[in-house]
Homo-oligomer: A and B are copies of this chain.
Amino acid sequence: MLKLKVKKIKISTGNVLVAVMNISDSQFYDLYNGDRIKIENSNGENITTFLDITNSDELVPKGTIGIFEDTTRHINIKQGESVTISAQKKPDSITFIKKKLAGKKLSYEEFYSIIKDISNNRLSDIEITYFVAACYTHELNDKETVDLTKAMINTGESLHFGHRLVLDKHCVGGVAGNRTTMMVVPIIAAAGYLMPKTSSRSITSAAGTADTVEVLCNVTFSIDQMKKVISKTNACLAWGGALKLAPSDDKIIKVESPISLDPTGQLLASILAKKKSVGANVLLIDIPVGRGAKIEDLSEAKALKSKFKNIAKKLGMKIKVVITDGSSPIGKGIGPALEARDVLWTLSNDPRGCKDLREKGMDLAIKLLKLAGESKAKKKVSELIESGKAYEKFIEIIRAQGGKEVHASDIKLGKNSLDIRASESGTITFIDNKFVNRVARIAGAPTDKEAGIYLHIRKGDIVSKGQKLFTIYSNSLEKMDYANEYVKKHFGIEIRSSDPLFNKV
């Protein structure tokens, strides 16, 4: 048995767990870079990490083992304490990854083994990459996708509500603004149905639903805290990242992003596993399509729609998939505070609310209620909005999540603002989602919750030269300057001249 003294290294790699050994020690026990080793302390507690080997006697002297902060979060280990090192075999899941790479089908048990090891940091990024590549080159069939989804559900935590209907919605994304979730959840909950909604933070957009809700209240809960909110209000608006639903998902996404790979089987499993984990059995999926959206091609959207339906049915969910217009932003504000303000105005029937957000939110709520078997869905939704009951439910959820009622006009925006005006007169023919998101991000969103942009115009509006198109908000003058610079270089709003002479081709 190899005994080494612990040398703590004050760095968090954020990666899989790694311990570092001096080359002279690793050679002694015939250990190689990337091998798995078990580190056992004197109390018999142990942890398995990957091995890194160093030539540097300064970093890790002979006789010591370097332990990063990530590892010390999982095991009690003291500086200088003597630990026992032993080699560990590769997990079985590697065999299954190779099997899939060779083009064979995997069973539920095999997917479970892989997903369990990913969740528990037992596979390296390189090994996970082979799994993703295998699922991309040998596309998962429906049975495999269902099995992968179940494996993701069963390696994480779940909510259970007995035989009750549990409603959920999901948007494939790519449209700036588009905070329909914050419209739909209070409507559905006010209608008496359960909707335990989890959402993500922004990855490349200016705000995710979780970032926006966070302007008004807390969104970071444990499963138990989330249950309390739901039992009070029928619903919640929580950040999914804090819960342990399908924990393998983030690690898979991490190796997909360098080459922007998103195998359909994994996309479906990732979304449906999270829905199933909160107990959802009635699900509405929104696929926005159009120029500048994530999915630009209608036939691609239709293919995805049919796959969603197949897999969700096999998982015992009632599902409806709608393909919507994703070619322009929805709502006027882009950035957490601006989007939260839009939602408050719209839900409370304030004239400053957004017509498109109201219409899309209500339409999705009607479709979801119909799917749940509600006969007079349209009438019910109109009543809930117009009577202010949906707004009241929203405030009820905000309070249950530790917030207080805030009036839309009290929401603070970035202390600096800059108006961008039309350089010519004409009709607005295109507002690029990516441009809008990018400007809001450069201004500081979503970290600076008060940063973002506010659109004064919609697609189809007629503007005259010098008219305000949008306002940029930021708390940093430096960021504002950079956003202004970016706008000048990459302007993403198309104005078609209203002078008919210019439009003759």
Binding site for B on A (CB under 8 A): 10-12, 14, 24, 27-28, 30, 32, 34, 52, 54-56, 58-59, 94, 97-98, 101, 103, 124-127, 129-130, 133-134, 136-138, 255, 257-259, 261, 438, 441-442, 444, 447, 479
Contacts and interface: CB of A to CB of B under 8 A. Distances in A.
Contacts of A258: 34, 94, 124, 126-127
A56 B103 contact: no
Nearest to A97: B259
A54 B70 CA distance: 13
B259 A98 contact: yes
8 contacts: A14-B54, A94-B258, A94-B259, A101-B136, A125-B125, A127-B258, A127-B259, A137-B137
A101 B34 contact: no
Given A258-B34, A259-B94, A259-B130, A101 B137 contact: yes
Interface of chain A: mostly helix, strand, loop or mixed: helix
A405 B52 CA distance: 40
Contact of A126 (B59, B129, B441, B447): B129
By CB atoms of chain B within 10 A, which of A10, A54, A133, A444 has the most? A133
A303 to B, nearest CB: 16
A288 to B, nearest CB: 23
Contact of A137 (B11, B34, B134, B444): B134
A101 B30 contact: no
Contacts of A126: 125-126, 129, 255, 258-259
Given A98-B261, A101-B136, A30 B441 contact: yes
B259 A11 contact: no
Contact of A133 (B12, B134, B438, B447): B134
Contacts of A97: 259
B10 A103 contact: no
Given A30-B438, A98-B259, 8 more contacts: A11-B11, A12-B55, A14-B54, A24-B447, A126-B126, A126-B259, A129-B133, A130-B261
**Chain B CB within 10 Å — which of A10, A125, A441 has the most?**
A125
* Top-9 shortest CB links A-B: A133-B133, A137-B137, A129-B129, A27-B447, A126-B129, A126-B258, A30-B441, A126-B255, A94-B259
A5 to B, nearest CB: 17
Contact of A12 (B54, B101, B127, B130): B54
A392 B136 CA distance: 58
Contacts of A32: 257
Nearest to A35: B258
Given A137-B101, A479-B28, A10 B130 contact: no
A98 B138 CA distance: 14
Contacts of A55: 12
A138 B129 CA distance: 16
Contacts of A124: 258
Contact of A261 (B10, B12, B101): B101
A30 B129 contact: no
A97 B137 CA distance: 12
A265 to B, nearest CB: 14
